[in-house]
Amino acid sequence: MTDEQCVFIVDDDDAVRDALGMLVRSIKLKAREFASAEEFLDAYDPDQPGCLITDVCLPGTDGLGLQKILKERNISIPMIVISGHGDIPMSVHMVREGALDFLEKPFKNHHVLQRIKEALHHDARRREQARSTADIRERYTRLTPRERQVADLLVEGAPNKVIASRLNLSTRTVEAHRATVMRKMGVRSAPALTLRLMQLAEGAADAIGNTDVAATQT
Protein backbone atom coordinates (compact mmCIF):
# COMPACT_ATOMS: atom_id res chain seq x y z
CA MET A 1 0.00 0.00 0.00
CA THR A 2 1.18 3.51 -0.81
CA ASP A 3 -0.16 7.00 -0.17
CA GLU A 4 0.45 7.82 -3.84
CA GLN A 5 -2.82 8.15 -5.76
CA CYS A 6 -3.37 5.59 -8.51
CA VAL A 7 -5.81 5.43 -11.42
CA PHE A 8 -7.07 1.87 -11.93
CA ILE A 9 -8.15 1.09 -15.48
CA VAL A 10 -10.34 -1.93 -16.27
CA ASP A 11 -10.97 -2.59 -19.97
CA ASP A 12 -10.66 -5.72 -22.10
CA ASP A 13 -9.63 -3.68 -25.14
CA ASP A 14 -5.83 -3.60 -25.14
CA ALA A 15 -5.66 -0.41 -27.20
CA VAL A 16 -8.09 1.51 -24.97
CA ARG A 17 -6.42 0.24 -21.82
CA ASP A 18 -2.93 1.18 -23.01
CA ALA A 19 -4.06 4.58 -24.30
CA LEU A 20 -5.70 5.46 -20.99
CA GLY A 21 -2.62 4.30 -19.08
CA MET A 22 -0.37 6.51 -21.21
CA LEU A 23 -2.76 9.44 -20.80
CA VAL A 24 -2.76 9.11 -17.02
CA ARG A 25 1.02 8.84 -16.85
CA SER A 26 1.38 11.89 -19.11
CA ILE A 27 0.24 14.05 -16.17
CA LYS A 28 2.59 12.26 -13.74
CA LEU A 29 -0.04 10.05 -12.13
CA LYS A 30 0.33 6.38 -11.39
CA ALA A 31 -1.80 3.95 -13.42
CA ARG A 32 -2.51 0.24 -13.23
CA GLU A 33 -4.34 -1.60 -16.02
CA PHE A 34 -6.49 -4.73 -15.85
CA ALA A 35 -8.24 -6.70 -18.59
CA SER A 36 -11.13 -7.86 -16.39
CA ALA A 37 -13.02 -7.04 -13.23
CA GLU A 38 -11.70 -10.23 -11.65
CA GLU A 39 -8.08 -9.20 -12.21
CA PHE A 40 -8.76 -5.83 -10.63
CA LEU A 41 -10.57 -7.27 -7.60
CA ASP A 42 -7.76 -9.77 -6.98
CA ALA A 43 -5.13 -7.01 -7.00
CA TYR A 44 -6.92 -4.04 -5.44
CA ASP A 45 -6.08 -2.85 -1.92
CA PRO A 46 -8.84 -0.57 -0.53
CA ASP A 47 -6.20 1.35 1.43
CA GLN A 48 -4.71 2.53 -1.87
CA PRO A 49 -5.90 6.07 -2.69
CA GLY A 50 -7.16 6.55 -6.21
CA CYS A 51 -10.05 6.14 -8.60
CA LEU A 52 -11.39 3.54 -11.01
CA ILE A 53 -12.11 3.79 -14.74
CA THR A 54 -14.07 0.80 -15.99
CA ASP A 55 -15.74 -0.19 -19.22
CA VAL A 56 -19.37 -1.28 -18.99
CA CYS A 57 -18.91 -4.35 -21.17
CA LEU A 58 -16.27 -6.69 -19.77
CA PRO A 59 -15.66 -10.43 -20.06
CA GLY A 60 -17.02 -12.26 -17.03
CA THR A 61 -18.16 -9.69 -14.49
CA ASP A 62 -19.33 -6.55 -16.31
CA GLY A 63 -19.10 -2.97 -15.05
CA LEU A 64 -22.42 -3.12 -13.24
CA GLY A 65 -21.44 -6.39 -11.58
CA LEU A 66 -18.11 -4.88 -10.52
CA GLN A 67 -19.94 -1.93 -8.98
CA LYS A 68 -22.21 -4.29 -7.03
CA ILE A 69 -19.26 -6.31 -5.72
CA LEU A 70 -17.47 -3.17 -4.55
CA LYS A 71 -20.62 -2.07 -2.69
CA GLU A 72 -20.97 -5.50 -1.09
CA ARG A 73 -17.39 -5.19 0.16
CA ASN A 74 -18.01 -1.61 1.39
CA ILE A 75 -15.34 -0.28 -0.96
CA SER A 76 -15.94 3.36 -1.88
CA ILE A 77 -13.52 3.99 -4.72
CA PRO A 78 -14.72 6.77 -7.06
CA MET A 79 -15.77 5.20 -10.37
CA ILE A 80 -15.82 6.61 -13.90
CA VAL A 81 -17.66 4.51 -16.48
CA ILE A 82 -16.59 4.13 -20.11
CA SER A 83 -19.57 3.53 -22.36
CA GLY A 84 -20.23 2.62 -25.96
CA HIS A 85 -23.36 4.10 -27.52
CA GLY A 86 -25.38 0.95 -26.87
CA ASP A 87 -24.26 0.85 -23.23
CA ILE A 88 -25.59 4.27 -22.25
CA PRO A 89 -28.70 2.99 -20.37
CA MET A 90 -26.51 0.75 -18.20
CA SER A 91 -24.02 3.60 -17.71
CA VAL A 92 -26.79 5.91 -16.53
CA HIS A 93 -27.93 3.20 -14.12
CA MET A 94 -24.39 2.92 -12.74
CA VAL A 95 -24.26 6.69 -12.20
CA ARG A 96 -27.54 6.46 -10.30
CA GLU A 97 -25.94 3.73 -8.20
CA GLY A 98 -23.00 5.96 -7.28
CA ALA A 99 -20.56 6.18 -10.20
CA LEU A 100 -19.27 9.73 -10.59
CA ASP A 101 -19.83 9.97 -14.34
CA PHE A 102 -19.73 8.09 -17.62
CA LEU A 103 -17.74 8.90 -20.74
CA GLU A 104 -19.12 7.86 -24.11
CA LYS A 105 -16.67 6.48 -26.68
CA PRO A 106 -14.88 8.03 -28.44
CA PHE A 107 -13.97 10.36 -25.61
CA LYS A 108 -11.70 13.37 -25.60
CA ASN A 109 -8.50 13.28 -23.57
CA HIS A 110 -9.12 16.54 -21.73
CA HIS A 111 -12.57 15.31 -20.64
CA VAL A 112 -11.03 12.11 -19.26
CA LEU A 113 -8.31 13.99 -17.41
CA GLN A 114 -10.81 16.43 -15.92
CA ARG A 115 -12.98 13.58 -14.61
CA ILE A 116 -9.91 11.80 -13.22
CA LYS A 117 -8.82 14.91 -11.33
CA GLU A 118 -12.33 15.32 -9.91
CA ALA A 119 -12.44 11.66 -8.88
CA LEU A 120 -9.05 11.82 -7.16
CA HIS A 121 -10.09 14.99 -5.34
CA HIS A 122 -13.29 13.26 -4.22
CA ASP A 123 -11.32 10.26 -2.95
CA ALA A 124 -8.83 12.46 -1.08
CA ARG A 125 -11.66 14.35 0.67
CA ARG A 126 -13.42 11.10 1.59
CA ARG A 127 -10.26 9.59 3.05
CA GLU A 128 -9.47 12.75 5.04
CA GLN A 129 -13.02 12.73 6.40
CA ALA A 130 -12.64 9.07 7.37
CA ARG A 131 -9.35 9.78 9.15
CA SER A 132 -10.91 12.70 11.01
CA THR A 133 -13.91 10.62 12.06
CA ALA A 134 -11.64 7.80 13.22
CA ASP A 135 -9.66 10.27 15.34
CA ILE A 136 -12.87 11.63 16.91
CA ARG A 137 -14.11 8.09 17.58
CA GLU A 138 -10.83 7.17 19.26
CA ARG A 139 -10.97 10.31 21.41
CA TYR A 140 -14.59 9.61 22.35
CA THR A 141 -13.71 6.11 23.57
CA ARG A 142 -11.36 7.74 26.12
CA LEU A 143 -14.28 9.46 27.84
CA THR A 144 -15.66 7.86 30.96
CA PRO A 145 -19.43 7.18 31.12
CA ARG A 146 -19.84 10.27 33.32
CA GLU A 147 -17.81 12.42 30.92
CA ARG A 148 -20.02 11.24 28.05
CA GLN A 149 -23.08 12.31 30.01
CA VAL A 150 -21.55 15.74 30.52
CA ALA A 151 -20.59 15.91 26.84
CA ASP A 152 -24.14 15.05 25.73
CA LEU A 153 -25.60 17.77 27.95
CA LEU A 154 -23.06 20.30 26.69
CA VAL A 155 -24.15 19.50 23.16
CA GLU A 156 -27.75 20.15 24.22
CA GLY A 157 -26.61 23.61 25.32
CA ALA A 158 -27.05 23.04 29.05
CA PRO A 159 -25.00 25.36 31.32
CA ASN A 160 -22.87 23.94 34.11
CA LYS A 161 -25.50 24.59 36.80
CA VAL A 162 -28.15 22.70 34.85
CA ILE A 163 -25.78 19.81 34.19
CA ALA A 164 -24.92 19.69 37.89
CA SER A 165 -28.59 19.55 38.81
CA ARG A 166 -29.48 16.88 36.26
CA LEU A 167 -26.54 14.65 37.16
CA ASN A 168 -26.71 15.37 40.90
CA LEU A 169 -23.19 16.74 40.96
CA SER A 170 -21.58 19.89 42.28
CA THR A 171 -20.91 22.69 39.84
CA ARG A 172 -17.20 22.41 40.55
CA THR A 173 -17.27 18.71 39.63
CA VAL A 174 -19.09 19.50 36.40
CA GLU A 175 -16.49 22.15 35.59
CA ALA A 176 -13.74 19.58 36.10
CA HIS A 177 -15.53 17.03 33.89
CA ARG A 178 -16.12 19.70 31.27
CA ALA A 179 -12.44 20.62 31.15
CA THR A 180 -11.49 16.95 30.81
CA VAL A 181 -14.01 16.40 28.02
CA MET A 182 -12.66 19.39 26.09
CA ARG A 183 -9.08 18.22 26.51
CA LYS A 184 -9.78 14.62 25.50
CA MET A 185 -11.87 15.65 22.49
CA GLY A 186 -9.31 18.24 21.38
CA VAL A 187 -11.70 21.21 21.38
CA ARG A 188 -12.03 24.49 23.30
CA SER A 189 -15.74 25.22 23.16
CA ALA A 190 -19.14 23.55 23.33
CA PRO A 191 -19.94 24.44 19.67
CA ALA A 192 -16.71 22.79 18.54
CA LEU A 193 -17.56 19.74 20.64
CA THR A 194 -21.00 19.65 19.05
CA LEU A 195 -19.51 19.63 15.54
CA ARG A 196 -17.19 16.77 16.43
CA LEU A 197 -19.95 14.63 17.94
CA MET A 198 -22.19 15.38 14.95
CA GLN A 199 -19.43 14.17 12.64
CA LEU A 200 -19.07 11.02 14.75
CA ALA A 201 -22.83 10.37 14.57
CA GLU A 202 -22.86 10.90 10.79
CA GLY A 203 -19.97 8.47 10.39
CA ALA A 204 -21.82 5.85 12.42
CA ALA A 205 -24.96 6.37 10.33
CA ASP A 206 -23.00 5.96 7.10
CA ALA A 207 -21.46 2.73 8.39
CA ILE A 208 -24.89 1.34 9.28
CA GLY A 209 -26.22 2.39 5.88
CA ASN A 210 -23.39 0.63 4.05
CA THR A 211 -23.98 -2.53 6.10
CA ASP A 212 -27.70 -2.44 5.30
CA VAL A 213 -26.98 -2.03 1.57
CA ALA A 214 -24.56 -4.94 1.60
CA ALA A 215 -27.06 -7.11 3.49
CA THR A 216 -29.81 -6.48 0.95
CA GLN A 217 -27.50 -7.44 -1.92
CA THR A 218 -26.33 -10.75 -0.46
CATH fold of the domain at 142-217: Arc Repressor Mutant, subunit A (1.10.10)
pLDDT tens-digit profile, the chain (218 residues): 457 899 999 999 999 999 999 999 999 999 999 999 999 999 999 999 999 999 999 999 999 999 999 999 999 999 999 988 778 888 999 999 999 999 988 889 999 999 999 999 999 999 999 999 999 999 999 999 999 999 999 999 999 999 999 999 999 999 999 999 999 999 999 999 999 999 888 876 665 455 444 444 44
Contact status, residue 4 vs residue 25, Cβ threshold 8 Å: no
Cα separation of 24 and 17, whole Å?
11
Q: Residue ranges of the domains in the chain?
A: 6-127, 142-217
Q: Which of the following CATH numbers is that of domain 6-127: 3.40.50.10860, 3.90.260.10, 3.40.50.2300, 3.30.505.50?
A: 3.40.50.2300
What's the pLDDT at 217?
Answer: 45
